């Protein structure tokens, strides 16, 4: 969505909602960081921005993620008030603070989701564009790059991976593992309220 000629239904508040970049991308990051840290976010302060207050809507049907193609001969200028990008300061329930930067107007980024967590003795970072690597930062020795290896995982983590070390596992596999976990839970339990509680994000 870098250019004012980039357009799809998400830019329209009446079709995609008042929030766009935060709702479309930021919510995934916020869920992920709470899951990884084990800490709920209890307060936020956001500064959101609409980079293109008007965009050129092409005539005819609109296809998202079509790549290079001829531009439609007719366009109409449309007012936009949904967010293209923004910064959100966070406070976690244990008092830790954090910051989210979300953007649909960063050149070269397609579906990049990344985070870095700084602890008392180490830091670590992960990037969805290289999902099988984990960067580990140290103060008094060389930093490390850990490659995904099921033989090094905890039992709960190794249950939701299929490929041995050295074989990439990525975004599409996460859906497969989600449904496998869900159906296994139903098969081994009553599938009632306790099942809903376990898989609810509320």
What is the rounded average pLDDT of the residues 105-116? 92
Of residues 155 and 198, more confidence is placed in 155
The predicted structure's pLDDT at residue 75: 84
Of residues 25 and 68, more confidence is placed in 25
The predicted structure's pLDDT at residue 195: 47
The predicted structure's pLDDT at residue 172: 81
Average pLDDT of every residue of the chain: 87
Of residues 184 and 105, more confidence is placed in 105
The predicted structure's pLDDT at residue 113: 94
The predicted structure's pLDDT at residue 65: 58
Of residues 78 and 164, more confidence is placed in 78
Topology adopted by domain 1-63+73-107: Dihydrodipicolinate Reductase; domain 2 (3.30.360)
Confidence of residue 66 (pLDDT cuts 50, 70, 90): low
The predicted structure's pLDDT at residue 7: 92
Of residues 167 and 114, more confidence is placed in 114
* Cβ-based neighbour number of residue 82 at 10 Å: 21
Residue boundaries of the structural domains of the chain: 1-63+73-107
Q: Which helix (H) or strand (E) holds 181?
A: helix 171-188
Whether the pLDDT of residue 12 is over 90: the answer is: yes
Confidence of residue 122 (pLDDT cuts 50, 70, 90): very high
Whether the pLDDT of residue 201 is over 70: the answer is: no
Residue burial 44-80, b: 16+ Cβ < 10 Å; e: rest: eeeebebbbeebbbbeeeeeeeeeeeeeeeeeeeeeb
Rounded-to-integer distance, Cα 32 and Cα 34, Å? 5
Rounded-to-integer distance, Cα 56 and Cα 164, Å? 48
What is the rounded average pLDDT of the residues 89-102? 97
Look up the pTM and report it.
0.76
In the chain, % of residues over pLDDT 90: 60
């Amino acid at each position: 969505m870098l250019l004012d000629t980039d357009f799809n239904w998400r830019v329209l508040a009446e079709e995609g909602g008042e929030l766009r970049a935060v709702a479309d991308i930021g919510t995934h990051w916020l869920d992920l960081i709470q899951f990884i840290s084990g800490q709920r976010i209890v307060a936020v302060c956001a500064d959101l921005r609409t980079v293109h207050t008007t965009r050129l809507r092409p005539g005819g049907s609109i296809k998202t993620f079509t790549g290079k193609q001829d531009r439609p001969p007719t366009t109409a200028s449309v007012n936009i008030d949904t967010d293209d990008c923004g910064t959100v300061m966070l406070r976690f329930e244990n008092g830790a603070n954090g910051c989210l930067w979300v953007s649909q107007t960063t050149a070269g980024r397609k579906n990049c989701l990344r985070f870095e967590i700084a602890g008392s003795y180490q830091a670590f970072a992960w990037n969805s564009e290289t999902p099988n690597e984990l960067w580990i930062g140290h103060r008094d020795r060389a930093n490390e790059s850990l490659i995904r290896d099921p033989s090094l995982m905890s039992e709960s983590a190794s249950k939701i991976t299929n490929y041995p070390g050295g074989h990439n596992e990525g975004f599409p596999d996460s859906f497969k593992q989600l449904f496998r976990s869900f159906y296994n839970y139903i098969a081994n339990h009553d599938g009632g309220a306790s099942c809903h509680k376990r898989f609810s994000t509320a």
